[in-house]
């Protein structure tokens, strides 16, 4: 029948007029994002042994780990840096880390206007991690409880990953 297609289209339009929109008016409104969503990378120094497995697993070579030996056999982490200019947020580094010291999660609204600010050194990454924990009741994105600030927190004293 002539015009049936138009009628069908109008019906669909009418149906959608009364439905709640699935989009939100960002940035005025924000959505609850699951803590383990691949929004960013968070590095937790207290869990890190400096083994460099994350750096070796990164296909883009964006992680730099520089260590020096300690007398007790452990490693000092002199540098830990992530080049987010290259990172594709694949999460392979987080899967490779034996201690869940690098985890997916964290802010998704940290866009920069200076491209080089996406290169983040140990200090910036530590601030990111501490800000995250302070805003999430000291729970890591993986759901484990983080030590309180000032608490002795070397990996040996932390719950081992699954
Ligand atoms: S998320 Fe992927 S690209 Fe980014 S640092 Fe980790 S392994 Fe490299
Ligand atoms: S983040 Fe994990 S894999 Fe990378 S150096 Fe630290 S402990 Fe090793």
Domain ranges of the chain: 33-157
CA of 76 to the centre of ligand 1 (A): 23
Tell me which DSSP letter residue 59 carries: T
Mean of the per-residue pLDDT values of the chain: 92
State whether CATH 3.10.180.10 applies to domain 33-157: no
CA of 70 to the centre of ligand 1 (A): 28
Ligand 2 atom closest to the Cα of residue 77 is 5
Give every CB contact of residue 62 below 8 A, 6+ residues apart in sequence.
Answer: 82, 83, 84, 85, 86, 87
89 lines ligand 1 (CB under 6 A): yes
Q: List pLDDT tens digits, range 35-52.
A: 999 999 999 999 999 999
- Radius of gyration, CA atoms only, the chain: 22
CA–CA dist 3, 28 (Å, integer): 41
CA–CA dist 8, 67 (Å, integer): 67
Tell me which DSSP letter residue 22 carries: S
Ligand nearest 45 Cα, by number? Answer: 2
CA of 9 to the centre of ligand 2 (A): 55
- What pLDDT does residue 149 have? 74
CA-based angle 135:102:91, to the nearest 5? 110
Ligand 2 atom closest to the Cα of residue 55 is 4
Between 157 and 40, the higher pLDDT residue:
40
CA–CA dist 105, 116 (Å, integer): 21
- What pLDDT does residue 134 have? 96
- Helix or strand or coil: residue 75? strand
Ligand 2 atom closest to the Cα of residue 53 is 3
CA of 58 to the centre of ligand 1 (A): 5
């Amino acid at each position: 029948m002539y015009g049936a297609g138009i009628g069908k289209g109008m019906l669909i339009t009418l149906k959608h007029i009364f439905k709640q929109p699935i989009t939100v008016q960002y940035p005025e409104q924000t959505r609850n994002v699951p803590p383990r969503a691949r929004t960013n990378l968070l590095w937790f120094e207290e869990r890190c042994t400096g083994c460099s497995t994350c750096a070796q697993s990164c296909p883009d070579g964006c992680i730099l780990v520089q260590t020096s030996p300690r007398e007790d056999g452990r490693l000092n982490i002199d540098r830990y840096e992530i080049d987010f200019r290259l990172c594709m947020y694949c999460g392979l580094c987080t899967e490779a880390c034996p201690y869940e010291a690098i985890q997916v999660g964290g802010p998704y609204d940290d866009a920069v206007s200076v491209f080089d600010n996406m290169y983040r050194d140990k200090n910036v990454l530590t601030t990111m991690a501490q800000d995250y924990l302070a805003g999430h009741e000291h729970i890591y994105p993986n759901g484990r409880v983080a030590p309180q600030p000032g608490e002795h927190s070397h990996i040996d004293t932390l719950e081992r990953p699954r």
